[in-house]
Structure 1
Amino acid sequence: MSLLIPNTNDYHDAHGDLDQDVLYHKLINERNSSRPDQHVWKFSPEQGFFKQCHPDTDDMEFRYTEQDFGIEKPWELIIKELEALNASSPNNVQYKLIFFARHGQGWANVAGRKYSKEEWYNKWRFLGTDGEITWGPDADLTELGVKQAWENHNVWKTQLEKGAPYPKSFYVSPLQRSIKTHNITWPDTNPLVVENLRETIGLHLCHKRSTKSQLQFKFPNLVFPDNFEEEDELFKLYVNPRREELHEQFARVHDVLQDIFDNDSNDIISITSHAGTIRAFITVIGHRKFTIPTGDHQKSTFKRSKTVKSKNPINADTQLSECFKTVSTSLYVSLAPSFNDDPVTGVKQQHLDPLVMRFHPKLKGVILSYSNIELETEAQDQNLAKIENSSPFTFLWVDVQFLIWSPSVGDVLEGDIFIQTPSHLGLLICDVFNASIKKYNIPMGWTFTSSQQDEVVGNDDRKTYGYWSDENGQKVDGKLKFTVKNVYTTGRVVSVEGTLIGPGEERNAQPVYEQKSTKPAASGKHKKFDDDDDDDGTVTTTEIAEPEENETLPAYINESEDSNVNEDDEVVNRSDSAEDEVESD
C-alpha cells in the first residue's frame, strides 16, 4: 500500500484561502504596471498530457504511484509532442515539463497534528521542541518521511524503465527535509539550491533554514548560487505578529519561475519543495487546484510566453511606437558608362530608386526616401566618376541617408480597419502598410456579427463580411491600437501581424458568431506597391502571402546607431506561422 496518501490538512493547503489568489493577481498586475520596461513571462497549463489537469480527477482519491504518474499517453509521445511544440513555437513561447515534488513527512508535520490549532499558533510554532520531538529550526524528515522518499525513488525507477524522461535540471528548497527527499529520490545529482523555493517565511521555527556552511557540510552534492547568504536573512525579516502571507509567497515563486525560464533552456525539470510552494506554482501557472500529500509529486506540462518590450521608443503624447528613423549607410555600387559624367543621377536611377518602398532586410525596415548623397571618389568633384583600368564601368562607394519605417515585435501601432471577417481584422498603418489581427489574437469577449449568410456585400472596392463588437457590445470601427506580434516581409512590402491580447491568452481557432446582420463594416484602401503602370487609383483588398525569402540587395556598411545589435534584436523574416501557435490552454 502506498505511503503517499493525502489528508485534510493537505487538502486545505491546496484549496484553502482562495482570497490569496485574488490578492496575488492584483499584486502582480500592479507590479507589472509599475515596470513597463520589464520582460515578463506568462504561464498556462497544457492539456492532454496528465490526468491531474482534468477537473473531474478527484485529487483526494488519485494515486499517481498506481497510475503511471497520471500520463494520458505513452512517455514516448509526450516527449515527442513536447519537442514538436517547442520546435514550432516563436521565440517568445516555450513549453516545459516540470515535476513538482513535496518533501516527505517532517517532524513539523507531526507536531502540527499533535497539538490543536490554537496551541500550535499560540505557543509551539515559536519553539523547536516539546522535549519529546524536535521540529525546528529546519525540521528533519521522520522515519515515515524517509520511507516516502524511497517510495518515490522506486516509482521513478519504474517510470524511467517505461520511457519517462530523466530531468535535465534539478532545483531544491534550502530546507533540509526537501534536500533529503531530493537526494533519496535522485541520488548522484547536484541540485541548485534556490532560496525562494522555501516554505512560507516567518514565525514558524520549522521553516528557519540551517546556515549555508551547515548545509554544505551535511549535503556536499548541493550547488549554491553566488548570492546565497550564510545566515537565514529572510527569516529575520518577519517579527511577530508579521508572517509572510500566501499571496506574497505566490509572488516570490512567480519570480523563481521568471528566473528559471530566463536562464535555463532545459525543457524537463525537477523541483523539490513544500506544500505551500507547490500551491504557489499551481497558482502562478494557472493549473487547477490539486492536493499534494507529503512525499508526493505533481506533474505539469505548461506553456510560457513572454511579453516582449517594444524595441522602438514610445511617443509620450500618442503612446505609439516611433517606427520612423533615419539611417546613414554606405553602398558599394557600379555605374554604367552613360553616367560617368553624372554619377549622382546614375546612383539614384540604378541603385536608390529601386529600393524605395521596399523592405531592406539588413536595415530592418522599409526604405521610404533617401537624401544627402555623397560619393567617396578621388575625382575633383561630385559631378565626375573615376574610371580605372580598361573597364567601362565605374565602381565606387556612396554615402546616403535613408528614411525607413522599421516596426519591431512588441511595438504599439495604430491602424485604420479596412476589412473585418470572422477570421481576422485587416488594417492599414499610415494608409500604406498592411496589418492583420487573426481571430485567436482578438479578446475572448469580442464577437463577430456576420452579414447575410454566405453572402459578401460588394460596393466598388469595399467588401463587407460583417463586423466585430467588443466586450461592451460596441462595434469595432475606425482606428485601432494593437501590439506587433510578428513582422512578415517580401522584397517589396512588409506585413505586420498584430495582437490585442497578451501572450498565452489566445482564443481557440473556431470563429465566434452572433446574429446575422446587414450592417456594413468599415472599409478602407489597401495600396499596392508595384512598378507597373496601373497606378490609377485602383485599390485592392488582398492579403499578402508569407514570403519565402528576401531579395538580394547591394552590399553595404550599416553605420546606423543600431548596427551592432545582436540577432535577437533584429527584425528578420518571422515566417513562423502564427496559425501553428494555436494551442489549447
Structure 2
Amino acid sequence: MSDASSHFTPSSPFHQKYINYTTVTGFFLQDDPATNASAFNYSMLNLGLIERPYDTDDEYDPQHEKTQWQRFEHYVFRLNRQSGRHLQYKVLFMGRHGEGYHNVAESFYGTPAWDCYWSLLDGNGTVEWADARITEKGVAQALVAHAFWKEALANKGIPAPESYYTSPLVRCLETAKLTFSGLKLPSRRPFKPVVKELLREAIGIHTCDRRSSKSWIQENYPDYAIEAGFAEEDPFWLPDLRESNTAQVARLKKLLDDVFTTDDSTWVSFTSHSGAIGSLLKALGHRTFSLQTGGVIPVLVKAETIGCPPPTSSIQPSTTAPTCTVNPTPAPTG
C-alpha cells in the first residue's frame, strides 16, 4: 500500500541549491512571543501591523502624511530593490477558512472520538462533513475578513494581494470567495485565485480532508484557475493512512518553493487550514501561532537561495487512525 506522504518528497527545484526561509520579525504583533494567539483579534488590530518608524520614512514620507501600511509597503519595496539576485522578500497573508461542519462535529464528539471514529465517516446521517462546507458561523467569519479588507483598502492604504492561492478543499474555496469577491481592488490586482494541491490540510483518513473532483471545482468556482497537473480525482487521500507532521511541513515547504520561484509578486494571499498554516509557519521559522477559524496572519518572509544542496531532514511515516479508547457514540439524552 502506498504512503500518502511519499507523494510529497522534500525536493528542491534546484539540483544544487535550496531556498532558506526566515521570518523577519518586529513588524507584526503575531511574531512577538508576548502576543496571545487565543485572544488575538486581527480585524480590530489592523492585521497586527505594528505602529513603528522605518528607516525609509525620511525619503518616502518626510511630511508624515502616509499611513502605516503605505510606509510598510515602501519599506518592503526598498528591501527587494536593494537585495541581490539570490534574495527576495514577500509578505504572505495567510487566512484560515471559516468554521466548517467538521469543526462543529469534532467539538460535539470530542477530539478522541473524532480522531478514532467519526472523522473516518462522511457524516453522521444528519450532517455531512466529507470535504466539509462552512457553516453559517463560518460564512460570518469570512465576511468579517471581507469587511476588514474593504475598510483597510479604502482608508488604511493596505496593499491588495497581487496573487491569490487557495487550498482545493471547499471550505477554503468558499472562504476565499467570500473574503475577496466584490472588493474594490486595483485593476492590475484582480481576485483570480489559483487552486493549489499542496496548500491543503493534512492528507488521509479524515474524510473532511478528501477533496472534490476537479470537474466539481470548475463547475462551482468557474472564475478560479486550477494549477497545471491537477488530477480529476484526489490522487493523494488514503482512507487508512494520515500524513505525518514532518511530511506536512516538507509538503508546505515545497509549496513555498513553487510560489517563490515562479511568482514575482511581493504581496501574496494564501487561504488554507490550521494545520497547513502551522506547517507553513514552521517552514518559515515563525513562532507557533494557532489561528481560530476565519483568522488571518501576515508574515514578512526573507527567502535566500543557498548555493549548496539542502540540509537533510527526517520525514516520519504516515500514521493510522488511533484505537478508540472512549465510546465514540454519546449516550442519548432525555
Class of the TM-score when normalised by the shorter of the 2 chains = 0.7 to 0.9
* Maintained 8 Å contact 2:203/2:209: yes
Task: Report the secondary structure of 1:72's partner residue.
Answer: coil
Q: Which has the larger radius of gyration?
A: 1
Q: Shift in Å at residue 56 of structure 1?
A: 1.1
CA distance in 2, matches of 1:132, 1:246: 31
* Maintained 8 Å contact 1:44/1:285: yes
Q: Shift in Å at residue 225 of structure 1?
A: 1.7
Matched, 1:223 2:233: no
Q: Higher strand proportion, which one?
A: 1
Partner of 1:39: 17
Partner of 1:177: 171
Matched, 1:234 2:236: yes
CA distance in 2, matches of 1:184, 1:45: 28
Matched, 1:132 2:110: no
Q: Shift in Å at residue 309 of structure 1?
A: 5.3
Give the letter aligned to residue 296 of structure 1: G
The normalised TM-score by structure 2 is 0.80
Q: Structure 1 residues 118 and 53, CA, compared in 2 at 3 Å: closer, same or farther?
A: closer
Partner of 2:103: 109
Q: Shift in Å at residue 160 of structure 1?
A: 1.2
Q: What 5-or-longer segments of structure 1 have no aligned partner?
A: 1-26, 311-501, 503-585
Q: Shift in Å at residue 246 of structure 1?
A: 1.1
Partner of 2:47: 69
Instruction: String of CA shifts for 1:491-511, please: whole Å, max 9, x gaps.
Output: xxxxxxxxxxx9xxxxxxxxx
Q: Shift in Å at residue 48 of structure 1?
A: 2.6
Q: How does 1:181-196 map to 2 (within 5 A)?
A: 181-187=175-181, 189-196=191-198
Q: Which protein, 1 or 2, shows the higher relative CO under an 8 Å CA cutoff with sep ≥ 6?
A: 2
Q: Shift in Å at residue 36 of structure 1?
A: 8.6
| Aligned residue-pair number | 277
Give the letter aligned to residue 45 of structure 2: Q
Instruction: String of CA shifts for 1:249-286, please: whole Å, max 9, x gaps.
Output: 11000000001011001100000000001001100000
Partner of 1:434: none
Q: How does 1:149-548 map to 2 (within 5 A)?
A: 149-161=142-154, 162-187=156-181, 189-235=191-237, 238-240=238-240, 242-308=241-307
Give the letter aligned to residue 235 of structure 2: E
Query: Which of 89, 92, 97 is the aligned partner of 1:98?
Result: 92
Task: Report the secondary structure of 2:37's partner residue.
Answer: coil
Partner of 2:59: none
CA distance in 2, matches of 1:40, 1:298: 25
Q: What 5-or-longer segments of structure 2 have no aligned partner?
A: 1-8, 52-67, 183-190, 312-334
Task: Report the secondary structure of 2:90's partner residue.
Answer: strand
* Maintained 8 Å contact 1:92/1:308: no
Q: Higher helix proportion, which one?
A: 2
What percentage of aligned pairs have identical amino acids? 35
Give the letter aligned to residue 50 of structure 1: F
Partner of 1:448: none
* Maintained 8 Å contact 1:167/1:268: yes
Moved over 2 A (4+): 35-39, 116-119
CA distance in 1, matches of 2:177, 2:15: 40
Task: Report the secondary structure of 2:88's partner residue.
Answer: strand
CA distance in 2, matches of 1:64, 1:302: 19
CA distance in 1, matches of 2:97, 2:14: 37
Give the letter aligned to residue 94 of structure 2: F
* Maintained 8 Å contact 2:120/2:239: no
Task: Report the secondary structure of 1:43's partner residue.
Answer: strand
Task: Report the secondary structure of 2:94's partner residue.
Answer: strand
* Maintained 8 Å contact 1:172/1:182: yes
Task: Report the secondary structure of 1:95's partner residue.
Answer: strand
Give the letter aligned to residue 288 of structure 1: R
Q: Shift in Å at residue 131 of structure 1?
A: 1.6
Task: Report the secondary structure of 1:244's partner residue.
Answer: coil
Q: Pairwise CA RMSD of aligned residues?
A: 1.8
Give the letter aligned to residue 149 of structure 1: A
